[in-house]
Amino acid sequence: MVIVPKILRNVSLTAHPKGCELSVRNQIDWVRQQLEQHSDTRYQLPHTNFFPKKVLIVGGSTGYGLASRIVAACVGKADTINVSVEREPSETKTATPGWYNTTVFERYAKTHGLKAVSVLKDAYAKTTKAEVASLIAKHFGTIDLLIYSLASPARTDSSGTTYRSVIKPIGNQYGALSVDVTTGMVSKVIVEPADQSQIEETVKVMGGEDWNDWITYLLQCNLLSDGFKTVSYSYIGPELTYPIYRSGTIGKAKEDLENSARLLNETLQSVNGSAYVSVNKALVTRASAVIPVVPLYIALLYRVMKDLNLHEECIHQIYRLFSERLYTGTSIPLDEKGRIRIDDWEMSDSVQQAVHLLWSAQSEGQAIIGGDLEGFITEYAKIHGFGFDEINYSEDIDPRII
Ligand code: NAD
Protein backbone atom coordinates (compact mmCIF):
# COMPACT_ATOMS: atom_id res chain seq x y z
CA MET A 1 0.00 0.00 0.00
CA VAL A 2 0.99 3.64 -0.44
CA ILE A 3 1.22 5.02 3.08
CA VAL A 4 0.13 8.62 3.54
CA PRO A 5 -0.40 10.67 6.71
CA LYS A 6 -3.96 10.55 8.04
CA ILE A 7 -4.56 12.98 10.87
CA LEU A 8 -7.77 13.16 12.89
CA ARG A 9 -8.08 15.85 15.60
CA ASN A 10 -4.27 16.29 15.83
CA VAL A 11 -3.76 12.51 16.15
CA SER A 12 -1.93 10.68 13.37
CA LEU A 13 -3.61 7.39 12.44
CA THR A 14 -0.81 6.11 10.20
CA ALA A 15 2.95 5.68 10.42
CA HIS A 16 5.53 5.00 7.73
CA PRO A 17 7.88 2.07 8.48
CA LYS A 18 10.82 3.43 6.48
CA GLY A 19 10.44 6.88 8.02
CA CYS A 20 10.21 5.49 11.55
CA GLU A 21 13.37 3.52 10.82
CA LEU A 22 15.12 6.69 9.70
CA SER A 23 13.87 8.59 12.73
CA VAL A 24 15.36 5.98 15.10
CA ARG A 25 18.58 5.76 13.01
CA ASN A 26 19.01 9.54 13.12
CA GLN A 27 18.82 9.50 16.92
CA ILE A 28 21.32 6.64 17.16
CA ASP A 29 23.64 8.38 14.66
CA TRP A 30 23.52 11.65 16.60
CA VAL A 31 24.58 9.81 19.77
CA ARG A 32 27.35 7.93 17.96
CA GLN A 33 28.74 11.10 16.36
CA GLN A 34 28.61 12.75 19.73
CA LEU A 35 30.68 9.97 21.28
CA GLU A 36 33.11 9.60 18.39
CA GLN A 37 33.62 13.23 17.33
CA HIS A 38 31.97 15.33 20.06
CA SER A 39 30.11 16.93 17.15
CA ASP A 40 27.77 19.09 19.27
CA THR A 41 29.93 21.00 21.73
CA ARG A 42 26.90 22.24 23.68
CA TYR A 43 27.06 18.87 25.44
CA GLN A 44 29.72 17.46 27.74
CA LEU A 45 31.24 14.06 27.04
CA PRO A 46 29.65 11.37 29.22
CA HIS A 47 31.37 9.44 32.01
CA THR A 48 30.11 6.13 30.66
CA ASN A 49 31.60 4.08 33.50
CA PHE A 50 28.89 5.51 35.81
CA PHE A 51 26.05 4.63 33.41
CA PRO A 52 23.51 1.87 34.28
CA LYS A 53 23.93 -1.51 32.58
CA LYS A 54 20.39 -2.88 32.87
CA VAL A 55 17.50 -0.55 32.27
CA LEU A 56 13.70 -0.88 32.19
CA ILE A 57 11.78 1.82 30.34
CA VAL A 58 8.04 1.99 30.90
CA GLY A 59 6.75 3.85 27.82
CA GLY A 60 9.97 3.36 25.84
CA SER A 61 8.67 3.25 22.26
CA THR A 62 8.31 6.94 21.34
CA GLY A 63 9.20 10.43 22.59
CA TYR A 64 11.17 10.78 25.80
CA GLY A 65 11.00 7.06 26.63
CA LEU A 66 12.49 5.95 23.30
CA ALA A 67 15.24 8.57 23.64
CA SER A 68 15.98 7.19 27.13
CA ARG A 69 16.29 3.69 25.72
CA ILE A 70 18.62 4.85 22.93
CA VAL A 71 20.87 6.83 25.30
CA ALA A 72 21.03 3.96 27.83
CA ALA A 73 21.96 1.46 25.11
CA CYS A 74 24.06 3.52 22.73
CA VAL A 75 26.00 5.53 25.33
CA GLY A 76 26.03 3.20 28.35
CA LYS A 77 25.89 -0.12 26.43
CA ALA A 78 22.93 -1.12 28.57
CA ASP A 79 20.63 -4.07 28.07
CA THR A 80 17.09 -2.70 27.94
CA ILE A 81 13.46 -3.76 28.38
CA ASN A 82 10.62 -1.66 27.02
CA VAL A 83 6.98 -1.79 28.07
CA SER A 84 4.55 -0.06 25.71
CA VAL A 85 1.18 -0.55 24.08
CA GLU A 86 1.34 -0.92 20.30
CA ARG A 87 -0.75 -1.91 17.31
CA GLU A 88 0.94 -4.47 15.05
CA PRO A 89 0.82 -3.92 11.28
CA SER A 90 -1.44 -5.89 8.96
CA GLU A 91 -1.52 -6.14 5.17
CA THR A 92 -3.81 -3.10 4.96
CA LYS A 93 -3.03 -1.17 8.14
CA THR A 94 0.17 0.38 9.42
CA ALA A 95 1.52 -0.31 12.89
CA THR A 96 1.87 2.41 15.51
CA PRO A 97 5.15 4.35 15.23
CA GLY A 98 6.18 2.75 18.54
CA TRP A 99 5.96 -0.72 17.01
CA TYR A 100 8.22 0.24 14.09
CA ASN A 101 10.61 2.15 16.39
CA THR A 102 10.87 -0.79 18.76
CA THR A 103 11.54 -3.27 15.93
CA VAL A 104 14.30 -1.07 14.48
CA PHE A 105 15.88 -0.28 17.84
CA GLU A 106 15.92 -3.89 19.01
CA ARG A 107 17.45 -5.09 15.76
CA TYR A 108 20.20 -2.46 16.13
CA ALA A 109 20.82 -3.33 19.79
CA LYS A 110 21.05 -7.05 19.14
CA THR A 111 23.51 -6.64 16.26
CA HIS A 112 25.66 -4.67 18.72
CA GLY A 113 25.61 -7.45 21.31
CA LEU A 114 23.03 -5.88 23.63
CA LYS A 115 19.94 -7.53 25.04
CA ALA A 116 16.78 -5.69 24.03
CA VAL A 117 13.33 -7.04 24.74
CA SER A 118 9.81 -5.64 24.92
CA VAL A 119 6.53 -6.45 26.57
CA LEU A 120 3.94 -4.82 24.33
CA LYS A 121 1.16 -4.78 26.90
CA ASP A 122 -0.68 -2.40 29.21
CA ALA A 123 1.84 -1.09 31.76
CA TYR A 124 -0.89 -0.51 34.36
CA ALA A 125 -1.85 -4.20 34.49
CA LYS A 126 -0.53 -6.43 37.29
CA THR A 127 -0.05 -9.26 34.77
CA THR A 128 2.28 -7.05 32.71
CA LYS A 129 4.33 -6.24 35.81
CA ALA A 130 4.58 -9.96 36.60
CA GLU A 131 5.67 -10.75 33.04
CA VAL A 132 8.34 -8.04 33.14
CA ALA A 133 9.54 -9.29 36.54
CA SER A 134 10.07 -12.79 35.23
CA LEU A 135 11.88 -11.42 32.15
CA ILE A 136 14.19 -9.41 34.43
CA ALA A 137 14.84 -12.44 36.63
CA LYS A 138 15.55 -14.65 33.62
CA HIS A 139 17.63 -12.34 31.40
CA PHE A 140 18.89 -9.43 33.54
CA GLY A 141 19.13 -10.58 37.15
CA THR A 142 18.33 -7.12 38.50
CA ILE A 143 17.86 -3.65 36.99
CA ASP A 144 19.92 -0.51 37.75
CA LEU A 145 17.46 2.06 36.40
CA LEU A 146 13.73 2.32 35.72
CA ILE A 147 12.58 5.19 33.53
CA TYR A 148 8.86 5.86 33.85
CA SER A 149 7.77 7.71 30.69
CA LEU A 150 4.10 6.89 30.25
CA ALA A 151 1.72 9.32 28.60
CA SER A 152 -1.66 7.66 28.51
CA PRO A 153 -5.23 8.83 28.04
CA ALA A 154 -6.72 6.05 30.19
CA ARG A 155 -6.06 3.40 32.82
CA THR A 156 -8.10 0.31 33.60
CA ASP A 157 -7.56 -1.12 37.08
CA SER A 158 -7.75 -4.75 38.17
CA SER A 159 -11.49 -4.44 38.96
CA GLY A 160 -12.15 -3.41 35.35
CA THR A 161 -12.86 0.26 36.15
CA THR A 162 -11.48 2.64 33.53
CA TYR A 163 -10.21 6.09 34.49
CA ARG A 164 -9.63 8.79 31.85
CA SER A 165 -7.19 11.66 31.98
CA VAL A 166 -8.33 15.06 30.72
CA ILE A 167 -6.40 18.24 30.05
CA LYS A 168 -8.56 20.94 31.60
CA PRO A 169 -8.20 23.96 33.88
CA ILE A 170 -9.35 23.74 37.49
CA GLY A 171 -11.83 26.22 38.97
CA ASN A 172 -12.35 28.61 36.06
CA GLN A 173 -12.93 28.41 32.36
CA TYR A 174 -9.71 29.05 30.40
CA GLY A 175 -9.62 31.11 27.25
CA ALA A 176 -6.38 31.57 25.33
CA LEU A 177 -4.94 31.80 21.86
CA SER A 178 -4.03 28.64 19.99
CA VAL A 179 -3.00 27.84 16.44
CA ASP A 180 -4.67 25.57 13.92
CA VAL A 181 -1.67 23.62 12.64
CA THR A 182 -3.36 22.85 9.32
CA THR A 183 -4.17 26.49 8.41
CA GLY A 184 -1.65 28.42 10.52
CA MET A 185 -4.48 30.66 11.76
CA VAL A 186 -4.57 31.84 15.35
CA SER A 187 -7.87 31.40 17.14
CA LYS A 188 -9.19 31.57 20.67
CA VAL A 189 -9.90 28.32 22.46
CA ILE A 190 -12.15 28.10 25.48
CA VAL A 191 -11.71 25.10 27.76
CA GLU A 192 -14.30 24.44 30.46
CA PRO A 193 -12.98 23.59 33.95
CA ALA A 194 -12.75 19.98 35.11
CA ASP A 195 -15.10 18.64 37.75
CA GLN A 196 -13.77 16.89 40.85
CA SER A 197 -14.04 13.38 39.39
CA GLN A 198 -12.10 14.41 36.26
CA ILE A 199 -9.32 15.79 38.45
CA GLU A 200 -9.18 12.56 40.45
CA GLU A 201 -9.24 10.38 37.34
CA THR A 202 -6.39 12.34 35.72
CA VAL A 203 -4.29 11.87 38.85
CA LYS A 204 -5.14 8.16 38.79
CA VAL A 205 -3.90 7.87 35.19
CA MET A 206 -0.94 10.27 35.08
CA GLY A 207 0.00 10.63 38.77
CA GLY A 208 2.49 8.57 40.75
CA GLU A 209 0.40 5.56 41.81
CA ASP A 210 1.39 3.26 38.98
CA TRP A 211 5.06 4.33 39.15
CA ASN A 212 4.95 3.47 42.85
CA ASP A 213 3.29 0.10 42.05
CA TRP A 214 6.11 -0.79 39.63
CA ILE A 215 8.86 0.04 42.09
CA THR A 216 7.32 -1.61 45.15
CA TYR A 217 6.52 -4.75 43.16
CA LEU A 218 10.01 -5.09 41.65
CA LEU A 219 11.56 -4.35 45.06
CA GLN A 220 9.46 -7.12 46.67
CA CYS A 221 10.68 -9.47 43.93
CA ASN A 222 14.33 -8.52 44.76
CA LEU A 223 14.91 -7.29 41.22
CA LEU A 224 16.45 -3.88 41.99
CA SER A 225 20.25 -3.54 42.13
CA ASP A 226 22.09 -1.84 44.97
CA GLY A 227 22.20 1.91 44.14
CA PHE A 228 19.13 1.56 41.87
CA LYS A 229 17.67 4.77 40.42
CA THR A 230 14.26 5.58 39.01
CA VAL A 231 13.23 8.69 37.09
CA SER A 232 9.83 9.92 35.97
CA TYR A 233 9.28 12.83 33.58
CA SER A 234 7.39 16.02 34.29
CA TYR A 235 6.76 19.46 32.83
CA ILE A 236 6.23 22.92 34.32
CA GLY A 237 6.41 25.51 31.54
CA PRO A 238 5.77 29.26 31.61
CA GLU A 239 3.02 31.04 33.53
CA LEU A 240 1.03 31.67 30.37
CA THR A 241 0.28 27.92 30.08
CA TYR A 242 -0.27 27.40 33.84
CA PRO A 243 -4.11 27.45 33.70
CA ILE A 244 -4.20 24.60 31.17
CA TYR A 245 -1.11 22.70 32.31
CA ARG A 246 0.61 23.22 35.63
CA SER A 247 -2.44 24.55 37.56
CA GLY A 248 -4.83 22.27 35.67
CA THR A 249 -5.70 18.58 35.90
CA ILE A 250 -2.42 17.36 34.42
CA GLY A 251 -0.48 19.63 36.79
CA LYS A 252 -2.27 17.95 39.71
CA ALA A 253 -1.13 14.59 38.36
CA LYS A 254 2.45 15.87 38.02
CA GLU A 255 2.35 17.17 41.62
CA ASP A 256 1.27 13.69 42.69
CA LEU A 257 4.18 12.23 40.71
CA GLU A 258 6.58 14.56 42.52
CA ASN A 259 5.15 13.54 45.90
CA SER A 260 5.57 9.90 44.90
CA ALA A 261 9.27 10.50 44.25
CA ARG A 262 9.66 11.67 47.86
CA LEU A 263 7.90 8.54 49.19
CA LEU A 264 9.82 6.23 46.84
CA ASN A 265 13.09 7.59 48.21
CA GLU A 266 12.09 6.10 51.57
CA THR A 267 10.90 2.83 50.01
CA LEU A 268 14.20 2.44 48.17
CA GLN A 269 16.46 2.90 51.21
CA SER A 270 16.90 -0.89 51.55
CA VAL A 271 18.74 -0.97 48.19
CA ASN A 272 20.42 2.45 48.63
CA GLY A 273 18.20 3.57 45.81
CA SER A 274 16.76 6.92 44.80
CA ALA A 275 13.79 8.29 42.89
CA TYR A 276 13.71 11.51 40.87
CA VAL A 277 11.39 13.57 38.80
CA SER A 278 13.08 15.23 35.85
CA VAL A 279 11.40 18.34 34.49
CA ASN A 280 11.89 18.25 30.74
CA LYS A 281 11.46 20.73 27.88
CA ALA A 282 8.26 21.16 25.87
CA LEU A 283 8.61 19.13 22.70
CA VAL A 284 6.44 17.82 19.91
CA THR A 285 5.45 14.24 20.77
CA ARG A 286 2.31 12.20 20.21
CA ALA A 287 1.20 13.20 23.71
CA SER A 288 1.95 16.94 23.68
CA ALA A 289 0.43 17.73 20.27
CA VAL A 290 -3.10 17.22 21.60
CA ILE A 291 -2.84 19.74 24.48
CA PRO A 292 -4.75 22.97 23.73
CA VAL A 293 -2.50 26.08 23.41
CA VAL A 294 0.65 23.94 23.38
CA PRO A 295 1.08 23.93 19.54
CA LEU A 296 1.17 27.76 19.55
CA TYR A 297 3.54 27.88 22.52
CA ILE A 298 5.82 25.23 20.96
CA ALA A 299 5.84 27.00 17.57
CA LEU A 300 6.97 30.24 19.26
CA LEU A 301 9.40 28.45 21.57
CA TYR A 302 11.03 26.57 18.69
CA ARG A 303 11.57 29.82 16.74
CA VAL A 304 13.26 31.46 19.73
CA MET A 305 15.33 28.44 20.79
CA LYS A 306 16.48 27.71 17.23
CA ASP A 307 17.52 31.35 16.76
CA LEU A 308 19.54 31.19 20.01
CA ASN A 309 21.07 27.78 19.12
CA LEU A 310 19.36 26.29 22.18
CA HIS A 311 16.86 24.02 20.44
CA GLU A 312 16.83 20.38 21.55
CA GLU A 313 14.83 17.29 20.68
CA CYS A 314 14.10 14.33 22.99
CA ILE A 315 17.42 12.63 22.25
CA HIS A 316 19.45 15.74 23.15
CA GLN A 317 17.47 16.35 26.34
CA ILE A 318 17.93 12.78 27.53
CA TYR A 319 21.61 12.71 26.58
CA ARG A 320 22.03 15.79 28.80
CA LEU A 321 19.95 14.19 31.56
CA PHE A 322 22.16 11.08 31.69
CA SER A 323 25.55 12.64 31.09
CA GLU A 324 25.23 15.97 32.93
CA ARG A 325 22.74 15.18 35.70
CA LEU A 326 22.20 11.51 36.58
CA TYR A 327 25.56 9.81 35.93
CA THR A 328 28.37 12.29 36.50
CA GLY A 329 29.99 10.57 39.48
CA THR A 330 29.06 13.52 41.72
CA SER A 331 25.79 14.47 43.43
CA ILE A 332 22.78 15.22 41.23
CA PRO A 333 21.87 18.93 41.07
CA LEU A 334 18.25 19.44 42.19
CA ASP A 335 15.93 22.45 42.44
CA GLU A 336 14.34 23.69 45.70
CA LYS A 337 11.62 21.03 45.36
CA GLY A 338 14.08 18.19 44.82
CA ARG A 339 13.55 17.93 41.05
CA ILE A 340 16.09 17.52 38.26
CA ARG A 341 15.79 20.38 35.74
CA ILE A 342 16.64 19.91 32.07
CA ASP A 343 14.07 22.52 31.09
CA ASP A 344 16.68 25.13 32.13
CA TRP A 345 17.31 26.37 28.58
CA GLU A 346 13.58 26.65 27.84
CA MET A 347 12.92 28.47 31.12
CA SER A 348 15.91 30.87 30.88
CA ASP A 349 14.95 34.57 31.01
CA SER A 350 16.24 35.28 27.49
CA VAL A 351 14.10 32.52 25.97
CA GLN A 352 10.96 33.27 27.97
CA GLN A 353 11.13 37.03 27.36
CA ALA A 354 11.44 36.48 23.61
CA VAL A 355 8.55 33.97 23.62
CA HIS A 356 6.40 36.46 25.55
CA LEU A 357 7.13 39.19 23.05
CA LEU A 358 6.13 36.92 20.16
CA TRP A 359 3.05 35.74 22.03
CA SER A 360 1.83 39.33 22.49
CA ALA A 361 2.15 39.89 18.72
CA GLN A 362 -0.45 37.17 17.97
CA SER A 363 -4.11 37.99 17.48
CA GLU A 364 -7.27 36.05 16.92
CA GLY A 365 -8.24 35.53 13.27
CA GLN A 366 -4.72 36.32 11.97
CA ALA A 367 -2.02 34.00 10.66
CA ILE A 368 0.67 33.14 13.22
CA ILE A 369 3.41 35.81 13.34
CA GLY A 370 7.06 34.85 13.68
CA GLY A 371 6.64 31.31 15.01
CA ASP A 372 8.19 28.11 13.72
CA LEU A 373 4.94 26.38 12.80
CA GLU A 374 6.79 24.59 10.02
CA GLY A 375 9.15 23.14 12.65
CA PHE A 376 6.19 21.90 14.69
CA ILE A 377 4.52 20.32 11.64
CA THR A 378 7.73 18.72 10.35
CA GLU A 379 8.63 17.26 13.73
CA TYR A 380 5.12 15.86 14.20
CA ALA A 381 5.34 14.29 10.73
CA LYS A 382 8.78 12.84 11.42
CA ILE A 383 7.80 11.10 14.65
CA HIS A 384 5.29 9.20 12.50
CA GLY A 385 7.87 8.52 9.78
CA PHE A 386 6.69 11.22 7.33
CA GLY A 387 8.41 14.32 5.95
CA PHE A 388 11.85 12.81 5.24
CA ASP A 389 13.38 13.95 1.92
CA GLU A 390 15.23 10.63 1.64
CA ILE A 391 12.01 8.58 1.40
CA ASN A 392 9.83 8.04 -1.65
CA TYR A 393 6.35 8.30 -0.15
CA SER A 394 4.59 7.33 -3.41
CA GLU A 395 6.17 3.87 -3.29
CA ASP A 396 3.82 0.92 -2.75
CA ILE A 397 5.14 -0.97 0.28
CA ASP A 398 4.08 -3.74 2.65
CA PRO A 399 3.46 -2.11 6.09
CA ARG A 400 4.45 -5.40 7.78
CA ILE A 401 8.01 -5.30 6.46
CA ILE A 402 10.64 -3.24 8.19
P1 NAD B 1 4.78 9.80 23.99
O2 NAD B 1 3.34 9.76 23.62
O3 NAD B 1 5.78 10.01 22.91
O4 NAD B 1 5.20 8.45 24.77
C5 NAD B 1 4.33 7.77 25.62
C6 NAD B 1 4.77 6.32 25.79
O7 NAD B 1 3.84 5.67 26.68
C8 NAD B 1 4.72 5.49 24.48
O9 NAD B 1 5.79 4.58 24.48
C10 NAD B 1 3.39 4.73 24.60
O11 NAD B 1 3.35 3.52 23.87
C12 NAD B 1 3.40 4.46 26.09
N13 NAD B 1 2.08 4.11 26.65
C14 NAD B 1 0.96 4.86 26.68
N15 NAD B 1 -0.02 4.20 27.35
C16 NAD B 1 0.52 3.01 27.75
C17 NAD B 1 0.03 1.90 28.50
N18 NAD B 1 -1.20 1.87 28.99
N19 NAD B 1 0.87 0.87 28.71
C20 NAD B 1 2.14 0.86 28.22
N21 NAD B 1 2.65 1.90 27.52
C22 NAD B 1 1.85 2.96 27.30
O23 NAD B 1 4.87 10.91 25.12
P24 NAD B 1 6.05 11.81 25.73
O25 NAD B 1 5.75 13.23 25.39
O26 NAD B 1 7.39 11.25 25.44
O27 NAD B 1 5.71 11.67 27.29
C28 NAD B 1 6.42 10.86 28.18
C29 NAD B 1 6.47 11.55 29.53
O30 NAD B 1 7.23 12.77 29.40
C31 NAD B 1 5.08 11.95 30.07
O32 NAD B 1 5.04 11.75 31.47
C33 NAD B 1 5.03 13.45 29.77
O34 NAD B 1 4.17 14.16 30.64
C35 NAD B 1 6.50 13.82 29.99
N36 NAD B 1 6.91 15.11 29.39
C37 NAD B 1 6.60 15.39 28.09
C38 NAD B 1 6.96 16.64 27.57
C39 NAD B 1 6.62 17.02 26.15
O40 NAD B 1 6.63 18.21 25.82
N41 NAD B 1 6.38 16.09 25.26
C42 NAD B 1 7.67 17.56 28.36
C43 NAD B 1 8.02 17.21 29.65
C44 NAD B 1 7.62 15.98 30.16
Q: Which residues, at least 6 apart from 80, have a Cβ–Cβ distance to it below 8 Å?
A: 54, 55, 56, 57, 60, 69, 72, 73, 109, 114, 115, 116, 117
pLDDT the model gives residue 287: 76
The one-digit pLDDT tens for each residue of the chain (402 residues) are 999 999 877 788 999 999 999 999 999 999 999 999 999 999 999 999 999 999 999 999 999 999 999 999 999 999 999 999 999 999 999 999 999 999 999 999 999 999 999 999 999 999 999 999 999 999 999 999 999 999 999 999 989 999 999 999 999 999 989 998 888 999 999 999 999 999 999 999 999 999 999 999 999 999 999 999 999 999 999 998 999 999 999 999 999 999 999 999 999 999 999 999 999 999 998 778 778 788 999 999 999 999 999 999 999 999 999 999 999 999 999 999 999 999 999 999 999 999 999 999 999 999 999 999 999 999 999 999 999 999 999 999 999 988
pLDDT the model gives residue 8: 79
pLDDT the model gives residue 143: 98
pLDDT the model gives residue 180: 87
Ligand 1 binding pocket includes 315 (Cβ within 6 Å):
no
For the full predicted model, state whether its pTM sits above 0.95.
yes
pLDDT the model gives residue 293: 86
Ligand 1 binding pocket includes 117 (Cβ within 6 Å):
no
Fold of the CATH domain 16-151+195-287+314-343: Rossmann fold (3.40.50)
Ligand 1 binding pocket includes 119 (Cβ within 6 Å):
no
Q: What is the 3-state secondary structure (H, E, C) of the chain?
A: CECCCCEECCEECCCCHHHHHHHHHHHHHHHHHHHHHCCCCCCCCCCHHHCCCEEEEECCCCHHHHHHHHHHHHCCCCEEEEECCCCCCCCCCCCCHHHHHHHHHHHHHHHCCCCEEEECCCCCCHHHHHHHHHHHHHHHCCEEEEEECCCCCEEECCCCCEEECCCCCECCCEEEEEECCCCCEEEEEEECCECHHHHHHHHHHHCCHHHHHHHHHHHHCCCEEEEEEEEEEECCCCHHHCCCCCCCHHHHHHHHHHHHHHHHHHHHHHHCCEEEEEECCCCCCCCHHHCCCHHHHHHHHHHHHHHCCCCCCHHHHHHHHHHHHHCCCCCCCCCCCCCEECCCCCCCHHHHHHHHHHHHCCCCCCECCCCCHHHHHHHHHHCCCCCCCCCCCCCECCCCCC
* 219-to-116, 303, 318, 326 alpha-carbon distances in Å: 22, 44, 25, 21
**66 C-alpha vs ligand 1 centroid, how far in Å?**
9
**Domain range annotation of the chain:** 16-151+195-287+314-343
Nearest ligand 1 atom, CA 234? 44
**60 C-alpha vs ligand 1 centroid, how far in Å?**
8
Q: Which residue among 64, 108, 163, 245 is the active-site one?
A: 245
pLDDT the model gives residue 7: 83
**360 C-alpha vs ligand 1 centroid, how far in Å?**
30
Ligand 1 binding pocket includes 149 (Cβ within 6 Å):
yes
**206 C-alpha vs ligand 1 centroid, how far in Å?**
10
Ligand 1 binding pocket includes 46 (Cβ within 6 Å):
no
pLDDT the model gives residue 158: 87
- Catalytic residue list contains 245: yes
Nearest ligand 1 atom, CA 122? 19
**374 C-alpha vs ligand 1 centroid, how far in Å?**
23
Ligand 1 binding pocket includes 287 (Cβ within 6 Å):
yes
